[in-house]
Amino acid sequence: MNNKKITEENWGKISGNRNVKRYTISNGDLSVSVIDLGATVQRITYKGLDMVVSLPDPRLYEKFAKGCMGATVGRYAGRIAGGRFTIDSRAYQLTQNQNGNHLHGGENGFYTRRWDSSLIDGDYIQFTLVSPDGEEGYPGNLNVSVIYGITDNNGLEITFKAVSDKDTIINLTNHSYFTPNGIDTRFFKFRQPPKTDNRDVEFFINADQTLELYDDGIPTGKRLPVDGTPFDFRTSRMLASNMEGLPDKSLGGYDHTFVLNPHEPEQPVAIAKGLKSGVKIAFFTDQPAAQLFTMGNPGMAFAFEAQHFPDSPNHPDFPSTLLRAGEQFLSRTVYQFSE
């Protein structure tokens, strides 16, 4: 029996007197709201508990767009060294929007854009966008779609699709910040700790390796074993306790790439459990890595961004992010909620 329901509303206005559209899909236990600004996950509640950081007004999503709060990130999630890469010996220069590097698609990445929206079969919400040839320095006119739906077992399913008319690179992800203990963060002051305590979060990540990083977050190219380090979550550990052992405090917490172990599609690559709420968030993905990013304070939320490796175009031994002209990029990630 299908008890899913989708509602649509004009949520509010941003600059230029432009309306922001919000869709909410729910099945009774799980409710997900998404907006066309940034193809963003604006709110997730599970049995009445808030599961992600959420802002109460579309103008805040516009004002704090660089925080990528729940947004779709692209064309390339993560960093590219110097904003440079080559395809078949042809060099490309992207915008340099963080310490001389390219981050999250540049100054006008997908998280800043308003997407076209539609419903598919009454069960799914689809956002589409055309990124023109040369935008932020990327080659090719890229047609992108992000499709949101709810599974029968209380999962938020996110499907990314893209096709380019020129050879290009691509790395798409969702940038939600999770609060598995169920804290409503809609009214906290940005970049200040909300009244929450995510110290009581237990984490499992199916990864034997992380990427070694330079000080600016660019990978050196080496993969490091997690054994005996704060990156070892192969058995469930407290997120905050491991975080306190990080050798490099300059990043303010985790901002690291976990190389996911080979796994079957039905196997979660990570599980976060809120010990106060009892809620588990299981992460499923077909991507080779995930970026664990904490908001600088162990009591705040975390992002777990399923994606390819950062700076892959400059590391031939990393999984390829090359998208040939006319071929389709297709990826699926699920956040599944349970008790």
Helix, strand or coil for residue 219?
strand
Q: What is the pLDDT of residue 174?
A: 98
Task: Report which DSSP code applies to 242.
Answer: H
Nearest to 307 by CA among 253, 261, 259, 236: 259
Residue carrying structure tokens 């990393």? 318
Domain ranges within the chain, ordered by starting residue: 5-338
Q: Which two tokens stand for residue 3?
A: 């008890």
State the pLDDT at residue 57: 92
Look up the pTM and report it: 0.94
Per-residue model confidence (pLDDT) at position 44 = 97
What would the DSSP string read from start to end of 92-106?
EE----BTTBEETT-
Q: Which string of DSSP letters, residue by residue, matches 30-70?
A: EEEEEETBTTEEEEEEETTEE-B---SSHHHHHHTGGG-TT
**DSSP-derived secondary structure letter, 240:** H
Report the distance separating Cα 81 and Cα 216, nearest Å.
Answer: 9
Mapped onto helix, strand or coil, the DSSP state of residue 169 is: strand
Domain 5-338: assigned CATH number: 2.70.98.10
Averaged pLDDT in 10-residue chunks for the chain of 339 residues: 86 95 96 98 96 92 90 97 98 96 95 96 95 98 98 97 98 96 64 56 97 93 96 94 76 87 94 95 98 73 96 98 98 97
Q: Which residue has the tokens 């080979």?
A: 262
Query: For residue 247, what pLDDT is reported?
Result: 75
Which pLDDT does position 197 carry in this prediction?
55
